Structure 1
Amino acid sequence: MSYSTGYGDPELGGPATAWRDGWPVYDRSGTVCVIGAGPSGLTAMKNLKEHGFGVDCYERETSVGGAWNWRHNRSPVYAGTHLISSKPFTQFPDFPMPDSWPDYPKHTQVLEYLEHYADHFDLKKSIWFGTEVVKVEPAEGDRWDVTTRSTGGFGGERIHRYAAVVIANGHNWSPKRPVYEGLDDTKIEVIHSAQYKDAAQLRGRKVLVVGAGNTGCDIAVEAAQQASKCWHSSRRGYWYTPKFTLGRPTDQVNDLMLWLRLPLKARQFIAHRTLKSTVGDLTRFGLPKPDHKIYETHTIVNSQLVYHLGHGSITPVGDIARFHRNDVELKGGEIIEPDLVVLATGYETKFEFIDPALLGIDAQGRPKLSLHAFPRRQPTLAVAGLLQPDSGLLPLVHWQMVLFARMLRLREAAPAKAVAVQRKLESELDRRWTSAKVKDTSRHWFEISHTTYLKAVQRLLDEVSVEGAAR
């Protein structure tokens, strides 16, 4: 089935059983559609299959891995990319990473891990590679019509009707590009971090890196080693944590404090004291002072940034005021002359194939979802992996999809109870699953505390575990 679009294949529909806007619709009965074969899509497929569902997965690229597959056009991965969450908090709970791997595996190892996951659970035979979803529309009976087409330019569009849909198209593929005065007229080369793939792009150049997120800091560190000059522009202050604290990966130390049930203020006190004794006051290097306490935004995990700041190979600067033809003016009036600007300014969350109202998307582009996964009044629709946790993502998506699969089974076994569970979910549409008050910026829309989130998922799993269990 690999690399096929499925057009004309009886396994994906047979004779048309309905019509939509003059187009035939091929009924896939109780099958669930999964959009995307990245980490979230793979674990959605695996858990739905384990609960007895047939699954069709559509992947626009020609292999699995999503954002972690650097061969994909939309992948944000660059040569130096490593995990910022340690191995135990990144691996799927039922498929551990090798013990011989480092605490923070490289992107090539993560892709290898995902490929082995797909092979181990025999998922690839259900994936239609080279096929993109162009439209998802509601149909009668809480079902969905999914329109697909080949990304290779052959064949026409085809509509299949599914019992449910999981959207797993990721949220790190559509670059967010800030608007600056003079940007369109400057002669300076300006790229987004999505276009950055290798440190050779920086070698011997004067580089301005814009953005204080994890990607921006990683690229600034690479520029410190390869460029002739590196400026690092940040608008606001953040908390910078090393990858190792007390001899352990930092996220494991944080998790220990959560396991001990220390109050937030106690954890903040310990974290501030620890950073003061290890990282120190970074304002002395010229970085902005954070305007919030630690854990009120996700911290920047980078052990090398402070090293290069201390050695003078990274020069912190403020926000950009405007671009001139041959230089950049900063707020405050300082002029710098880079010949390459890298905009590490994040990504927009986009769902181009579905009516925004179905996901409660507001004017700013933010979807309104219970547990960041389940839309209002759509019990057979879920969004997988739309999270920014203080740990690894993969285990959280695993349990998201276990919950969704069991909720679908509950609709068959106990419809009245399924409605009650759905209402309970919808009553928490506006809840933020964090242990601290988090800034309400687009960068932190999907911020969660992994322990708070998992407890909420567990409570719902307890409610659906009997009738909604796998057949």
Structure 2
Amino acid sequence: MRGAGHKNGIKRRPNGQFQQVVSYQTLRGFKVLLDPRTSSNSTMVNSASPKRCAIIGAGVSGLPSARWAKAYGYEPVVFELRNNVGGLWYYQNENTEFSCVMKKTIMNTSKEMSAYSDFPPPLDFPWFMTNQRMHQYLQLYAKHHDILKNVRFNHRVTRVERTPDFEETGEWAVEYQDANKNKSSEVFQAVLICTGRQSVPFMPPEYPGQKNFKGKIIHSKDYKDANIFENKKVLIVGLGNSGTDAASEVGQIAKSCFLSTRRGAWIHHRTIYGKPNDIYCNRRILEYVKKVFGRDFHAGLMERAFRSCFDHKIYGLNPEHKSYNQDPILICDELQLRLAAGQVVLKPEIHSFTENSVKFADGTVEEIEDVVMATGFSYNFDYLENGKIIPTKDDDLRLWKNMFPLSLMESKKGTTLAMVGMLQLSGAIMPAMEMQARVFFEVNAGHVKLPTTNAMHAEIMRDQEQRRRQYMGARANYTKVCFIDYMREMGQLIGCYADPFRLVFTDPKLAYRLLFHPDLPYSYRLQGPFAWPKAREMIFSVYERMDCGLIKKDTRAVQKVQSRDKGYLTMSVVSLTLSSAIFFYLLNSLLTVMV
């Protein structure tokens, strides 16, 4: 559906922006033909004015989107509601309409696994970044790629719609308000929605008696610090990452703290065997194990690792479902201790409320003063042509590759708008967001042959059915993907996936690293568009860089890569033996036929 055009007058400001809603034909002064991508690592440069890309949000998905827009010759214009970059990771103590992390939030994934593909975190950063460190990293990334000059802070996008000549141009009209509530509209050749998944709090339907409850009920979005619950009787509803973190904090200072869960959950610590758990869990070899031996075998390995942290059954957390039915796995280091100390008490789901208490499904009743609903988030894309581009019913967004709205794919210009960051991953989110941005610009540069709309629809329906069968719960299943599988699919789409089996003979040491070591973001810059010359070095020095953040050492030693890959020699010998056997078998068969 095309948006309705406007015929108002136009007033150009000195900075080139347009005030009022104006004629789209007048605004279309930004067209340019992009040259094919270069094989070098440099940014594409155009002699004419560059195409412009509107990026909504300057958080963990908006910043890499702006970085890659520049690389492909676009001028990014980033609309950010707040006065700083960082999105969710820009902590603000006061309650606002914006979602942000809790005051004491620590990343669940380690710094090297969470890095952008050409920007390793500083050496002195510890394994797991606090929200302050994470925000600092994002600021450093923005400065490194000179993105801040492209960000319009305190700007709210109010409407995005197709221009009347969209079928020929693929252009979008973006209406917005600045900090002074002045309304303006501009035309862009591309639009990326980078507002994330945690902007619209989801509250479950009211429980019986909830209206009569005299205490305070808030959503975890508004929970910042546990101090407001000191010496109170508190109930946390929901055993997700927010719920477990909130319960772990509140349990230390509240008079009593209860955590309500319907089915228990698999919980992992951030570290295992003294190292970040994601450097063990996110390895390509484990995905091959799952495919060869079945997901039950793989789940058994993972659940054994979870139980090595603590006995889920003793603490009342042991779920009936397999670990592959719950993705992502919860990460929390403190809940076990709070349960063991009696500072947090597990409860089943809520049955009903009274004025001063809550009755649970097992019949028990507890006095409660405050309730925190850690019940997740919903979506709202009404500003995209009144919500007609992306459906949000039951969180069924109908996005191909979790990016491109299926409703636009009938148009030959339908790829000029996409979502970045609508993902729940069994791994770090930032490398996947960056990969989405790369795919978007590769597609719009004409370097990727897309399937037909019918094929996209069939793929979406197949994936949704698989997720529906696999994952627990009715909500948010459609955005869940396996980190390694998703990165491989997207990397293959644009030619940046380095297949370890193809490197066995040419670079066996690298092949071994890619297969048996962590699936690092740098591995997706070894080849393909904008390959990064330092990618290989970053892969081989990852353990040394990690250690620098924990044990203060001479950082120059990081350049002297330590060999931890003795196994690659065995792999090389086995590969050569197998390939030789196959070669001689085929040769013998050929000679037999000839005779």
Q: TM-score, normalization: structure 1?
A: 0.88
Corresponding residue of 2:323: 294
Counterpart position of 2:427: 391
Alignment partner, residue 276 of structure 2: 249
Instruction: Deviation per CA, 1:32-84: give whole Å up to 9, x if none.
Output: 11111111011100001011111111111111111111136412311111101
Q: Secondary structure at the match of 2:418?
A: strand
Counterparts in 2 of 1:154-165, with a 5 A limit? 154-155=181-182, 157-165=183-191
1:135 corresponds, among 152, 156, 159, to 159
Aligned residues: 450
- List alignment gaps of at least 5 residues for structure 2: 1-10, 32-50, 498-524, 531-595
Aligned to 2:257: 230
TM alignment of 1:160-179, pairs within 5 A: 160-178=186-204, 179=206
Secondary structure (helix, strand or coil) at the match of 2:402 reads coil
Distance 1:455 1:256 in 2: 12
Q: 2:66 aligns with which of 45, 66, 69?
A: 45
Once residues 98 and 385 of structure 1 are traced to their aligned partners in structure 2, the CA distance between those partners, rounded to angstroms, is 24
Which deviates more, 248-257 or 208-217?
248-257
What is the match of residue 483 of structure 2? 450
Compute the displacement of 1:458 (Å). 1.4
Q: Aligned partner of 2:424: which letter?
A: Q
Bigger radius of gyration among the two: 2
Q: Which amino acid is 2:79 matched to?
A: Y
What does residue range 277-288 of structure 1 map to in structure 2 within 5 Å? 277-282=308-313, 284-287=314-317
Which deviates the most, 428-437 or 158-167? Answer: 428-437
Partner of 1:101: 125
The correspondence of residues 58-97 of structure 1 with structure 2, limited to 5 A, is 58-71=79-92, 73-97=97-121
Counterpart position of 1:400: 436
**What code does the residue aligned with 1:451 have?**
I
- Cα deviation digits, residues 252-290 of structure 1 (max 9, x gap): 1112374573223332121222333431133x3333x42
Matched residue type, 1:394:
M
Task: Find the partner of 2:472 among 415, 439, 442.
Answer: 439
Greater share of helix residues, 1 or 2? 2
Cα shift at 1:420: 5.1
Q: Alignment partner of 1:430: what SS? A: helix
Per-residue deviation, residues 355-413 of structure 1 (Å, max 9, x unmatched): 33322x15324211011111121211110011111111111111111111111111xxx
Q: Among the aligned pairs, what percent are the same residue?
A: 26
Q: How far is 1:348 from its partner? A: 1.0
Instruction: Tell me, yes or no, if the aligned pair for 2:21 and 2:184 is still in contact at 8 Å.
Output: no
Q: 1:13 to 1:188 in 2, by over 3 A?
A: closer
The CA distance in 1 between the partners of 2:128 and 2:172, in whole Å, is: 40
- Note the residue ranges of structure 1 that are not aligned, 5 or more in a row: 1-6
8 Å contact from structure 1 (residues 27, 160) kept in 2: no
Greater displacement, 263-272 / 378-387: 263-272
Q: 2:222 — aligned with what?
A: 195
Contact 1:18 1:26 in 2 (8 A): no
Say what the alpha-carbon RMSD is for the aligned residues. Answer: 2.8
The aligned residue for residue 306 of structure 2 is 275
Q: Against the structure 1 CA distance between its residues 440 and 408, is the aligned structure 2 distance closer, same or farther, given a 3 Å change threshold?
A: farther
Q: Residues 421, 38 of structure 1: CA spacing in aligned structure 2 closer, same or farther, 3 A cutoff? A: farther
Identify which of 351, 359, 371 aligns with 1:341. Answer: 371
Deviation string, structure 1 residues 204-262 (Cα, Å, up to 9, x no partner): 11111111001100111111211111111111221111221122211211123745732
Tell me the residue number matched to 1:149.
177
- Give me the whole-angstrom Cα distance separating, in 2, the residues matched to 1:257 and 1:122: 34
Counting only pairs closer than 5 Å after superposition, residues 402-441 of structure 1 correspond to structure 2 as 402-410=438-446, 418=449, 425=456, 428-432=459-463, 437-439=470-472, 441=474
3-state SS of the aligned residue for 2:321? coil
TM-score (norm: length of structure 2): 0.71
Q: Does 1:220 align with 2:224?
A: no
Deviation at 1:161, TM superposition (A): 1.2
Shift of 1:18: 6.1
- For 2:388 and 2:218, locate their aligned partners in 1 and report how far apart those are by CA, in whole Å: 33
Give the Cα–Cα distance (whole angstroms) in 1 for the partners of residues 491 and 22 of structure 2.
Answer: 39
When residues 440 and 63 of structure 1 are mapped into structure 2, their CA distance, relative to the original with a 3 A threshold, is same
